């Protein structure tokens, strides 16, 4: 089945899981998503917002087509927000095992996932965020999703993100929340 | 006592400890170091070099005076190089306590500190690195230095970096090695 597109956005990312998740939300808005290979240059910052804005501006400058950039992180309360904006690097080095070790013996398991979405599609320049609160599981569970999904249990659920299908994850996730807000605004501004 | 300056470099950093260390090495070359407040914008990368080069170019563009940028990190072998380029962020979040916890029960304590120095002082554009190998101590010792100095024991020594004076640390440190190489090259190119 071919998607009906009212509008096309270039998603600057190397993460195919993110593309799948965002594509499914975009379909609700008749927006098509194409993964784009433009280099994503990220600055260092303790906040996601400047990272995403900067990356989007650079991508738009080189591509000159409507771009979507998304940056996300897992913020663990008892670790002062670690791994935060560096979640991907931390996942690749110490991994889930390392994060579980750091939380060993710590009662406070609270954490949240945050996503910042930036769309540059003149005349629209949209910045939206989504947050989902939850707790870090004692052991990883599930094999869906990516990154720290196997140890994140969203509030009100018993399952980790990695135990949910994409459709289910999109009902709760930080990324789906941010993307829905952004697409709603985009639709209003561009009348698509 | 006032320093005799053959040449003045603006060191782009907010870290006063780094300034003290570099100033002492610079004196050997009759180079003066002035800490500069130009914004240091760092990109995300698993390598220090692109981070330092990018930051130096941006600083030089805005300041238009000879600039020195230094970026460093602690790379722990058993943690796949973590915390690496994000050492400062990791120090501020999980801290020395977190790193010690991650290494709990791990036999392999090998680690190295790496420093990359970039000087832009047309016609000179210098990129040099310095590495010091060592091991991670089981507990922090000493109150000198900064960052992860209290848990790093350089090869051939019994003391951590935090137990050494600046003069002593400069005999072994990654930063002093990189800076000396860079100043030697600068002197050759600029005939100072």
Is the per-residue pLDDT at B2 higher than 70? no
Q: Which fold has domain B7-190?
A: Maf protein (3.90.950)
pLDDT digits (tens, 9 = 90+) for B43-74: 888 889 988 998 999 899 889 999 999 999 99
Residues A139-154 as b/e (b if ≥16 CB within 10 A, e otherwise) read ebbbebbbbbbbbbbb
Angle of helix B95-102 relative to helix A95-102, nearest 10 degrees?
A: 120
Long-range contacts of B48-55 (CB under 8 A, 24+ apart): B48/B72, B48/B73, B48/B85, B48/B114, B48/B115, B48/B116, B48/B129, B49/B116, B49/B127, B49/B129, B51/A44, B51/B85, B51/B116, B52/B116, B52/B117, B52/B118, B52/B127, B53/B118, B53/B127, B55/B12, B55/B118
Tell me if chain A has a CB within 8 Å of the CB of B89. Answer: yes
Is the per-residue pLDDT at A1 higher than 60? no
Q: Is the peptide bond before A71 cis (omega within 30 degrees of 0)?
A: no
Tell me if chain B has a CB within 8 Å of the CB of A119. Answer: no
Q: Residue B41: list chain A partners with CB under 8 A.
A: 43
Is the per-residue pLDDT at A99 higher than 90? yes
Angle of helix B16-27 relative to helix B174-190, nearest 10 degrees?
A: 50
Cα–Cα dist A68/A8, whole Å: 10
Tell me if chain B has a CB within 8 Å of the CB of A97. Answer: no
DSSP type of residue A141: -
Q: In chain A, which residue's Cα lies nearest the Cα of B86? A: A86
Tell me if chain B has a CB within 8 Å of the CB of A89. Answer: yes
pLDDT digits (tens, 9 = 90+) for B128-146: 999 999 999 999 999 999 9
User: How many Å lie between the alpha carbon of B65 and the closest alpha carbon of chain A?
Assistant: 23
> Do A126 and A119 meet the contact criterion of CB atoms below 8 Å apart?
yes
> Do A115 and A175 meet the contact criterion of CB atoms below 8 Å apart?
yes
Tell me if chain B has a CB within 8 Å of the CB of A101. Answer: yes
Is the per-residue pLDDT at A120 higher than 80? yes
- Check CB contact under 8 Å for B80 and A90: no
pLDDT digits (tens, 9 = 90+) for A132-149: 999 999 999 999 999 999
pLDDT value of position B43: 80
- Check CB contact under 8 Å for B42 and A43: yes
pLDDT digits (tens, 9 = 90+) for A22-80: 999 999 999 999 999 766 778 888 889 988 998 999 899 889 999 999 999 999 999 99
Is the per-residue pLDDT at A2 higher than 80? no
Tell me if chain A has a CB within 8 Å of the CB of B142. Answer: no
Q: What is the pTM of this model?
A: 0.85
Portion 42-61 of B in contact with A at CB < 8 A: 42-44, 46, 51
pLDDT value of position B35: 96
Q: Residue A44: list chain B partners with CB under 8 A.
A: 42-44, 51, 86, 89
Is the per-residue pLDDT at B85 higher than 90? yes
Q: Where are the beta strands (DSSP E) in chain A?
A: 7-12, 31-36, 67-76, 83-84, 110-121, 124-136, 152-154
Residue B71 among the catalytic residues: yes
- Check CB contact under 8 Å for A42 and B43: yes
């Amino acid at each position: 089945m071919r998607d009906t597109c009212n509008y096309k956005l270039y998603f600057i990312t190397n993460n195919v899981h993110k593309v799948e998740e965002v594509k499914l939300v975009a379909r609700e808005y008749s927006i098509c998503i194409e993964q784009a290979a433009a280099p994503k240059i990220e600055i260092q910052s303790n906040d996601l917002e400047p990272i995403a804005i900067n990356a989007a501006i650079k991508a738009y400058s080189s591509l000159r087509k409507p771009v979507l950039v998304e940056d996300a992180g897992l913020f663990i309360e008892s670790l002062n927000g670690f791994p935060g904006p560096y979640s991907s690097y931390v996942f690749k080095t110490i991994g889930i095992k390392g994060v579980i070790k750091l939380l060993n013996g710590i009662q406070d398991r609270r954490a949240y996932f945050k996503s910042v979405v930036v769309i540059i599609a003149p005349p629209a320049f949209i910045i939206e965020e989504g947050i989902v609160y939850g707790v870090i599981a004692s052991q990883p569970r599930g094999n869906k999703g990516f990154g720290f999904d196997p140890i994140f249990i969203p509030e009100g659920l018993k399952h980790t993100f990695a135990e949910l299908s994409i459709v289910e994850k999109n009902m709760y996730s930080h990324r789906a929340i941010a993307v829905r807000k952004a697409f709603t605004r985009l639709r209003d501004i561009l009348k698509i």
